[in-house]
Structure 1
Amino acid sequence: MTQSPVHNGAEQIRLGGTCYIWQDGQLLDADGRTVPLRAKSLRMLEVLLSERGRIVSKDRLSELVWPDVIATDESIARCIADIRKALGDIVHKAVETFPKQGYRLNVEMRGQSIPTPTGRTGLLILAVSCAVILLGINLWFSDTRVGAPDTQIAFPAADLQKSVAILPFTADAEQDRLLAGGLSDDLEIRLSEISGIRIVSQVQTQAMAARLDSLIELSQVLTARYLIGGSVRSKGGDVAVSLQLINGSDGATIWADRFEGPRENLLAYRQKLPEALVKAMHVTLEPRDLQRLAREGTTVPAAFEDVMHARRELSLFTYQGSLAAEKYLRRALERDPDYARAYAELAAAFAIRFENSWVVLSGADTEKALYFAQKALELDAELWLAHYALGRLHSVIPSGDIDVALNHLRTAMSLQPANDDARIYYATLTTMAGRPEAALPQFESVMATHPVPPFWYYIGYSNTLLHLRRYDEAEEAALTCVNQMPNSPYCLRALVALYGRLGRQDDADWTMVEYAALGYELTIAAMMKSALERDPSMYAFLEESYRLAGVE
């Protein structure tokens, strides 16, 4: 049997910008506190650590973690889920799934076989060591020539010259990490509303930033002309925020700025950031861009932070995350009853619930969701997100109208031509209305020009290819979706249907185990509740695909 990687010693585990300590069969955080894990999950983590960087099969995991019995796929999947939760591995990049092969742990180890110091002093030494590692990560932003190659990067197309990737903002304290995430999310939202700029999704950026050491290499992989880095630090009752705009072709800092002062003054600073950044990028602002930038959204700092917290919760794509997001958004509206974006985000959150059958009282939830979207438009008639939310709602609520949905999406596209989200959802609904051949060119146009399409773009694209019977291409799109967001039920449902059509039962079984391990009901009735197909023949085709895969 494989032995523990370290005995009577300790190792530091680096996962992106986070540091853990592995000591005597226990997982500790950077402060030396035990990270709770069940015994079998701890043993599985120990095995994966000893084989890090290599794929470990399910049979091998069963042999090493359950030596006296044969473990079920569900038991293995549950331990994997526990480890991912403990490591904060939302996008499944630390513990990576390889269908029909196994799992691979992707972490860096430092200080291998360190003699373990004892007591609080020993833990302090390990924590300081982790802090030194993280300091090196933070210095990434101050060293403008990290890993610079000898040659310039050639960017592939003129329309990508203004593509931007927002790097994970760094912070130490928990409250600073939440604020850092909120600021980067807000900056992504506001920059995406500016004509002529394309934003690389933060999910993609964070995943690649954890793997690559060079800013220039990261820029090349993401096809991003510019990178934005930032850090947040609390200093007594004040907060310090540092930002940099980095040229992806040579790693040089083009623009830098710093805010230091009371948290309540941060909103005024945040208001001027997009305009300062686009000026540094030499982007020409259209009249509508100037109007959007002039709108403050809210003047209540706490309401702004609540909306940013809500967006983080929604990004988890879980029912609990959805409930937490609703709590934050309602609190934001208590603080500022005229906050249009908070209403629009609430409407979008309810649309996601309907898409995943997370609603309890369908009629009441429908009424609330439509009210939130209409209220957002009453407060800001040109808020594209409100029209986008209405488009999604009318595609999923029982009383929805597909033509109304498409009209709202057209309005969202006219209000925000540079944002591809509405365009992709419009193409998705075009397919579901029974016109996949008309939707395909729309998908191909967006996918060809978007710097790095986010995972959910591939869902609609895969479904369109499925209904066109182009199964191999549909599988490629669905697998790309799963690789980007392994915990997305949408991606896994698409694969189940595809493997049913392809007659690949082993692949279908593996995918269904992953789907069930996320807590979703694996029945025809439950899966068809999430179907967007409005054309009867397409609905029947999807249902038959699930049955061919073995769903009952």
Structure 2
Amino acid sequence: MIQDVATSSEMRLRLGLEDYVWREGELLDAAGHRIPLRAKALSMFAELLAYRGRVLSKDQLSELVWPGTVATDESIARCIADIRKALKDNAFEIVQTYPKQGYRLNVIVKAQAAAQSEETKFEPPSLHGKGGVLFVAAMVSVAAIIAWILVRDDTAIDVSSASNGTAVDSLREAIAILPFGVNSDSDRFLASGLSDDLEIHLAEISAIKLISRGQVSLVADTAQGPVALARSLDVRYLVKGDVREDSGAIALSLRLIDGSDGTTLWADRYEGTRAGLMGFRDTLPEALVGAMSIELNARDQQRLALKDTDDPIAFQEVMHARQELSTFTYEGSLTAERHLRQAIARDPNYARAYAELASTFAIRMENNWVVLSSADEDKAFYFAKEALRLDEGLWFAHYALGRLHSIAESGDTQTALTHLRQAMSLQPANDDPRAYFAIVTAMSGNLEDGATILKSVIATHPQPPFWYHLGLANAQFHLKQYESALETVRVCLSQMTNSPYCLRNQIAVLARLDRIEDAEWAAEEYAILGHEVSLAALMQSAIESDPALRSHLEASYRLVGID
């Protein structure tokens, strides 16, 4: 097990093109920052490292990581996916899959010497008892300690001044909201809700280019100063906040930082009750716009003055719902629906709550989570239209309607494109409507147009979310650019390891590349995650509306023996 292998040793590793350090049971990058891995994923990495050079079967991994119990295939697959995501192993070249056999870690362990580094000669521990493991662990520990003594790297790394290729004076005029700091775990929900709410309101202003929370989270946990963070995200402005709640009293402090030099452009603080907090939050977008000296058009000025709700409980219910939706599960969507219905009951004029509810149903339909399809469609369309009745300028409501029309049986492709165009015109700084427009365009048969738009969006987006890559992979697949499609879907899976759409696309692409065994393995992993592997189920979940595209997809699944 991990504790037996090298918890006290230091090992310098080369994984792919990057250098890492294994130290005291943790994986660090070359700058000494901890690579975030959940406990079981970290244990599995340690075992793969200990048995490097060998393919470990699922049974062996189960015994090593979950001693005394039998782990499910799903648990093993999730750990593998987490490791790949943490190491940015988009091509599955670091954690290698051997169909029908298991997994192998492709790693070079480097022993440092006075003038050179060479690959460590290493015999993996025996899989037939702990004696071999303990012996090799001791040898690895001794070797690592000797190497550390011989070559101590005392070079200090100035992370704040490290360059990632983006010049400070060329930072985009965009803004990123960093995760708000908290004093205790009990404050995390409020902090998350307030930062999410600020993101929602700023996203309503077309003149602001806002970096999404998902993109920010990829770098926010690294120990970087504001200038380095701004450079990593390629944004001019950063919002930092701290939240504390004690016996109903809330303290919230906010700062707007100029990422080009780290100076504070604006700061404010609130101390009081939740009810009073609602008025304070309404002033924040205008204050930030003023501090950034952004010129607003008439529509943006109207959106800035618009207040969505004065009910703190309704606001809290929407924040709870968005948190549940971020889990990307059917159960999470059901819980989100309950919160949103409670928000609407508290404030029947809360347009955003209706739009979020419509989006919740769209997510279910996109992932084939619906039980009563026609009933869900009727409810979803009602909620989206009610949102627009209450606030005709709410871009998110148009976006939800566009998604619904693209996937619902009663929907219409041209109506979907119309609403997505409207969402783009209302919120030109947000790439999501544009990317979804491209996907609908491609899946309705205009493959070249859709692929061109998606490539443009991905090229100009600092950190495109997984579904942008999914849309491009689908277009490339139907254009019969199978190698390109496989590379793109691997990027998709590196960001959202359990996305059913990405996994289905992977099966079809591998089949067309005549990698039947790999396609069968991918189908097996899809089933492990709880999805039905039948032609009817796969085609029911397909987003293609063009008959020729659907025929191409169905024939691809049949190549793997799925019927």
Q: Indicate whether the TM-score tops 0.5.
A: yes
Specify the alignment match of 2:362 in structure 1.
351
Considering only aligned residues, what root-mean-square deviation do their CA atoms show, in Å? 3.8
Contact 2:395 2:422 in 1 (8 A): yes
Residue 286 in structure 1 maps to residue 283 in structure 2: no
Larger Cα-atom Rg: 2
TM-aligned CA distance change 1:49 to 1:74, over 3 Å: closer
**SS at the partner of 2:498?**
coil
- The one-letter amino acid paired with 2:237 is Y
Specify the alignment match of 2:555 in structure 1.
544
C-alpha separation between the residues in 2 aligned to 1:470 and 1:238? Answer: 58
Specify the alignment match of 2:335 in structure 1.
324
CA drift of 1:172 comes to 4.1
C-alpha separation between the residues in 2 aligned to 1:211 and 1:460? Answer: 30
Specify the alignment match of 1:36 in structure 2.
none
C-alpha separation between the residues in 2 aligned to 1:245 and 1:91? Answer: 35
**SS at the partner of 1:413?**
helix
Residue 188 in structure 1 maps to residue 199 in structure 2: yes
Residue 247 in structure 1 maps to residue 244 in structure 2: no
TM-aligned CA distance change 1:396 to 1:273, over 3 Å: same
Specify the alignment match of 1:442 in structure 2.
453
CA drift of 1:51 comes to 6.5
Residue 148 in structure 1 maps to residue 148 in structure 2: no
C-alpha separation between the residues in 1 aligned to 2:97 and 2:34? Answer: 30
- 1:426-441 superposed matches below 5 A: 426-441=437-452
Residue 341 in structure 1 maps to residue 380 in structure 2: no
Contact 2:248 2:273 in 1 (8 A): yes
**SS at the partner of 1:338?**
coil
Q: Alpha-carbon deviations, 1:165-193, whole Å to 9, x = none?
A: 22222224444211111112122222222
C-alpha separation between the residues in 2 aligned to 1:15 and 1:335? Answer: 48
Specify the alignment match of 1:262 in structure 2.
273
Residue number among 301, 305, 325 corresponding to 2:312 in the alignment: 301
Specify the alignment match of 1:388 in structure 2.
399
CA drift of 1:90 comes to 12
Q: Alpha-carbon deviations, 1:385-431, whole Å to 9, x = none?
A: 11111111111111111111111112222222222211111111111
Residue 231 in structure 1 maps to residue 242 in structure 2: yes
CA drift of 1:475 comes to 2.3
Contact 2:176 2:235 in 1 (8 A): yes
CA drift of 1:282 comes to 2.3
- The one-letter amino acid paired with 1:66 is E
Contact 2:249 2:274 in 1 (8 A): yes
Contact 2:470 2:488 in 1 (8 A): yes
Specify the alignment match of 1:108 in structure 2.
none
Specify the alignment match of 1:494 in structure 2.
505
Contact 1:165 1:228 in 2 (8 A): yes
Count of matched residue pairs: 484
Residue number among 434, 453, 456 corresponding to 2:464 in the alignment: 453
Residue number among 166, 177, 181 corresponding to 1:166 in the alignment: 177
CA drift of 1:18 comes to 12
CA drift of 1:297 comes to 0.7
TM-aligned CA distance change 1:313 to 1:427, over 3 Å: same
TM-score by length of 2: 0.76
Contact 1:201 1:453 in 2 (8 A): no
- The one-letter amino acid paired with 2:529 is L
- The one-letter amino acid paired with 1:216 is V
**SS at the partner of 1:4?**
helix
Contact 1:153 1:249 in 2 (8 A): no
Residue number among 490, 493, 512 corresponding to 2:523 in the alignment: 512
CA drift of 1:455 comes to 1.5
CA drift of 1:346 comes to 0.6
Residue 201 in structure 1 maps to residue 198 in structure 2: no
**SS at the partner of 1:100?**
strand
Specify the alignment match of 1:365 in structure 2.
376
TM-aligned CA distance change 1:264 to 1:550, over 3 Å: farther
Contact 1:170 1:230 in 2 (8 A): yes
**SS at the partner of 1:254?**
strand
Contact 1:95 1:103 in 2 (8 A): no
- The one-letter amino acid paired with 1:148 is S
TM-aligned CA distance change 1:521 to 1:210, over 3 Å: farther
**SS at the partner of 2:266?**
strand
CA drift of 1:444 comes to 2.5
Unaligned stretches of 5+ in structure 2? 9-23, 106-157
CA drift of 1:61 comes to 6.5
C-alpha separation between the residues in 2 aligned to 1:491 and 1:532? Answer: 12
- 1:387-406 superposed matches below 5 A: 387-406=398-417
- The one-letter amino acid paired with 2:174 is S
Residue number among 60, 65, 85 corresponding to 1:63 in the alignment: 60
Contact 1:47 1:61 in 2 (8 A): no
Specify the alignment match of 1:219 in structure 2.
230
C-alpha separation between the residues in 2 aligned to 1:521 and 1:444? Answer: 31
Specify the alignment match of 2:140 in structure 1.
none
Specify the alignment match of 1:135 in structure 2.
none
Does 392-401 or 489-498 show the bigger shift?
A: 489-498
Does 394-403 or 51-60 show the bigger shift?
A: 51-60
- The one-letter amino acid paired with 1:540 is S
Contact 1:391 1:406 in 2 (8 A): yes
Unaligned stretches of 5+ in structure 1? 28-40, 105-145
Q: Alpha-carbon deviations, 1:245-298, whole Å to 9, x = none?
A: 222233333322221111111111111112212222222222111111111111
Residue 176 in structure 1 maps to residue 173 in structure 2: no
Contact 1:74 1:517 in 2 (8 A): no
Contact 1:329 1:346 in 2 (8 A): yes
- The one-letter amino acid paired with 2:247 is G
Specify the alignment match of 2:118 in structure 1.
none
- The one-letter amino acid paired with 2:160 is A
Residue number among 423, 437, 460 corresponding to 2:434 in the alignment: 423
Contact 1:48 1:56 in 2 (8 A): no
Specify the alignment match of 1:100 in structure 2.
97
Contact 2:177 2:199 in 1 (8 A): yes
Contact 2:2 2:25 in 1 (8 A): no
- The one-letter amino acid paired with 1:302 is I
TM-aligned CA distance change 1:82 to 1:271, over 3 Å: same
Q: Alpha-carbon deviations, 1:93-133, whole Å to 9, x = none?
A: 499874527488xxxxxxxxxxxxxxxxxxxxxxxxxxxxx
C-alpha separation between the residues in 2 aligned to 1:502 and 1:491? Answer: 16
C-alpha separation between the residues in 2 aligned to 1:539 and 1:261? Answer: 57
CA drift of 1:62 comes to 4.1
TM-score by length of 1: 0.78
C-alpha separation between the residues in 2 aligned to 1:211 and 1:369? Answer: 39
Q: Alpha-carbon deviations, 1:275-325, whole Å to 9, x = none?
A: 212222222222111111111111101111111111111122110111011
TM-aligned CA distance change 1:501 to 1:526, over 3 Å: same
Residue 481 in structure 1 maps to residue 492 in structure 2: yes
Specify the alignment match of 1:75 in structure 2.
72
**SS at the partner of 2:533?**
coil
CA drift of 1:465 comes to 1.5
C-alpha separation between the residues in 2 aligned to 1:484 and 1:362? Answer: 29
Q: Alpha-carbon deviations, 1:50-83, whole Å to 9, x = none?
A: 668998976166435437x9x9x98344245489
C-alpha separation between the residues in 2 aligned to 1:420 and 1:326? Answer: 26
Contact 2:6 2:25 in 1 (8 A): no
CA drift of 1:217 comes to 3.2
TM-aligned CA distance change 1:306 to 1:546, over 3 Å: same
Contact 1:244 1:256 in 2 (8 A): yes
